[in-house]
Amino acid sequence: MGTRVKQVLVAVLGAAICVTMVALGLWQMRVFESKEDESAELRTQQPAVSLVDNVAMDGTTGDIYGRQVEVSGRYLADQQKLVVDADGTVRVLTALTLDDGRVLPVIRGTIASVAAAVPAPPSGVVAVIGVFLASESAADDTRTVPAGTLASVRLAELAQEWPQQLIPGYVTLPALAAQGQGLGAAPVTLPTGSGSIQNIGYALQWWVFAAFGAFMSVRFVRAIGRSGGLGTLSDEEEE
């Protein structure tokens, strides 16, 4: 078997092994992400906890982001904003004033478009249960949205328009509660779950093996080339 053929066979075998290891690493990452999503989803299914018991007046917040919370208060119909998402979804954000004077932003649901009529919030004291989330990323703030609307639920931006002290987070009502107010269900982007460190470790391990396999394949190909060249030179010298 010629030297070139041997080199090609080793290179092909090494490449196949490396591709397999990379694929195994990607599979482990998908498992990791799946477990993260599952963990975040399970968190929302835990029993609701009291919001005021977990958010101090100084803004210190317990481990409640991504969980259901319950709180009571009164909606402020004159403190309401529309949030226009990148996919065109229009969420209705209304202030809920608590007994202690603080305000909780509440995503009550969605409407068809910015021009659509917004159903008035319930009057009087209401009990609210929904998923508690942190202020959204400013990544979409550069998008052009209609005047008077928001590109995301940014608490820093709301604080410039709403005079009360804001709770450091907002609540999104579940589908049934939104429908009860004449609104569509609002999407909920859950925070990253805990996932499985073991799976991400396996993924990194496979990628390290792939890199090592590529390195050794190159070494073997070069070694075969050197040994083949020396063999040829020796034959010529013998002649």
34-53 pLDDT per residue, tens: 555 555 566 767 888 999 99
Please tell me the predicted confidence (pLDDT) of residue 89.
94
Please tell me the predicted confidence (pLDDT) of residue 41.
63
| CA atoms of 104 and 102, how far apart (whole Å) | 7
| CA atoms of 135 and 158, how far apart (whole Å) | 10
Please tell me the predicted confidence (pLDDT) of residue 196.
45
45-76 pLDDT per residue, tens: 788 899 999 999 988 888 888 889 999 999 99
Classify 162 as helix, strand or coil: coil
Q: Where are the domains of the chain?
A: 3-39+195-238, 67-180
Smallest CA-to-CA distance from 185 within 41, 78, 89 is with 89
Token duo for residue 37: 């999503």
Smallest CA-to-CA distance from 54 within 42, 62, 66 is with 62
pLDDT values of the chain reduced to their tens digit, one per residue, 239 residues: 677 777 777 778 778 888 887 776 666 666 555 555 555 566 767 888 999 999 999 888 888 888 899 999 999 999 999 999 989 999 999 999 999 999 999 999 999 999 999 999 999 999 999 999 988 876 545 678 899 899 999 898 899 999 999 999 999 999 999 999 999 999 988 765 444 445 455 556 766 777 876 777 787 777 777 776 444 434 434 44
pTM exceeds 0.85, yes or no: no
Report DSSP letters for 79-139, one per residue.
EEEEEE-TTS-EEEEEEEE-TTS-EEEEEEEEES-TTSPPPPPPPSEEEEEEEEEPPPPGG
Measured in whole angstroms, the distance separating CA 82 from the mean position of its chain's CA atoms is 22
Given a contact cutoff of 8 angstroms between Cβ atoms, the answer to whether 193 and 35 are in contact is yes
138-158 pLDDT per residue, tens: 654 567 889 989 999 989 889
Given a contact cutoff of 8 angstroms between Cβ atoms, the answer to whether 186 and 172 are in contact is yes
